A = this chain, B = another copy of it.
């Protein structure tokens, strides 16, 4: 049985840790900063992967796999990218261990097995991929190249939080090559839309699409687009990024193509990624003090059926009827589990599945069978009702759809009621300090102002929203002119 979960109103951060731990999502490992993704957490990641992979393929992308290691000389080729990631690189320097003569049974790094050139464990794969693309691209006929990779990456982090910030994480990284800037920009925006669609429709998390400021841009990008989500503590979480890389990597790795006129040009690039961080976002967007709340589409188990019985004879009778229900649900593509373990009581199971976020729980006893009903409990709203077993598969299919929408709407109205507009510095400071949420405010467009605001309030510019209209005004900090408001928030 799980321990008590710290209420989120009491300590949001502990609430998050408790859920990650008690719902069996992940834990810290013996390797500093690296996590173990436990089966329940990984099953959610698999659901995300399957849907994203489908969406990538539908938009013309294929998967491939590039090496884990990047030789230092390649890594440093694109200077801004290298500079941006150098401080958090795990570096392989040797390729062999040997017996440590001084300590029986111990091993030591073999000094004779030092690499001539150090290998960086990929923090991102632009360098190794563009060095490869060089040989794949000769002419405009080879373009566009639309490739995605599912992989692990390593960014050495001193302060880590499960899913949100870990030294190793899992992600996908798309890397595309194009014949023109316009086509690359279109790809960048298209993949941003794919991410937004995925977040909203699949994870039930509303997001704001925008572009990052120069300061917050991906190292090596010309422009970084992002989707920003609001967590239940009002903080922002960057849930996906899509970068227009211009010709930076093509120039660094000398990747050119012959255009239709036979002239050599540098190739245009994009890259885009989402990671296991999304699992953290999912938890923080929807869960409550009883545990995880999962939108049905991302739930590994959508319906759990728990038999309520006194003896094995009763169980047998119930099981016969339940198997029909299971069959009917599976036929509709619904992921259902029948938990007939007899070493745990129903009450224990109810709490366990509540904790794990299973959207719908059915409890069925002999009395229910006699009445032709089952008790249906809905995880998101914590409601229970007796429903007829006849046609229960149709009811559940419809209900799962309704719950998906309800969870999204709940997150959306939470966000809408936590978005503010600051008209001057006092208002801005007060909002950031005292009102959890996002604040729209005018900004003069300079990095100096951006940094000063961060220094004073801990709020950062999450993005310059794409759907905002131009609206002249003056910067909340400096009073200098501004053409439109940008989105500020404290962020994960």
Chain A contacts to B: CB under 8 angstroms? 27, 29-31, 34-39, 42-43, 45-46, 62-72, 74-76, 79, 82-83, 86-99, 105-107, 109, 118-121, 128, 131-132, 135, 141, 147, 151-152, 154, 156, 168, 170, 343
Chain multiplicity (copies): 2
Q: Give Cα A433–Cα B75 distance, bound, in whole angstroms.
A: 48
Q: Could you say which of B62, B118, B152, B168 contacts A43, with CB atoms under 8 Å apart?
A: B62
Given contacts A46-B63, A90-B92, contact A70 B31 (CB under 8 A): yes
Tell me whether A72 and B119 are in contact (CB under 8 A).
Answer: no
Instruction: State how many angstroms separate the Cβ of A288 from the closest Cβ of chain B.
Output: 25
Q: Give Cα A298–Cα B154 distance, bound, in whole angstroms.
A: 32
Q: Give Cα A66–Cα B30 distance, bound, in whole angstroms.
A: 10
Interface-centre pick from A76, A120, A132, A151 (highest chain B CB count, 10 A):
A76
Tell me whether A92 and B68 are in contact (CB under 8 A).
Answer: no
Q: Give Cα A141–Cα B76 distance, bound, in whole angstroms.
A: 52
Tell me whether B168 and A67 are in contact (CB under 8 A).
Answer: yes
Tell me whether A121 and B92 are in contact (CB under 8 A).
Answer: yes
Tell me whether B29 and A66 are in contact (CB under 8 A).
Answer: yes
Tell me whether B68 and A147 are in contact (CB under 8 A).
Answer: no
Tell me whether B76 and A64 are in contact (CB under 8 A).
Answer: no
> In the complex, which residues of chain B have a beta carbon less than 8 angstroms from the beta carbon of A76?
105-107
6 tightest A-B contacts by CB?
Answer: A34-B67, A37-B65, A86-B97, A39-B62, A95-B156, A91-B94
Tell me whether B43 and A343 are in contact (CB under 8 A).
Answer: no
Pairs A–B under 8 Å by Cβ, sample size 19: A29-B67, A30-B131, A37-B65, A38-B64, A39-B64, A45-B65, A68-B154, A75-B107, A76-B107, A79-B105, A82-B107, A87-B98, A89-B95, A89-B96, A90-B95, A90-B119, A91-B97, A91-B109, A152-B152
> In the complex, which residues of chain B have a beta carbon less than 8 angstroms from the beta carbon of A128?
29-31
> In the complex, which residues of chain B have a beta carbon less than 8 angstroms from the beta carbon of A156?
95-96
> In the complex, which residues of chain B have a beta carbon less than 8 angstroms from the beta carbon of A42?
62-65
> In the complex, which residues of chain B have a beta carbon less than 8 angstroms from the beta carbon of A97?
72, 75, 82, 86-87, 89, 91, 120
Q: Give Cα A358–Cα B65 distance, bound, in whole angstroms.
A: 22
> In the complex, which residues of chain B have a beta carbon less than 8 angstroms from the beta carbon of A89?
95-97
Instruction: State how many angstroms separate the Cβ of A447 from the closest Cβ of chain B.
Output: 21
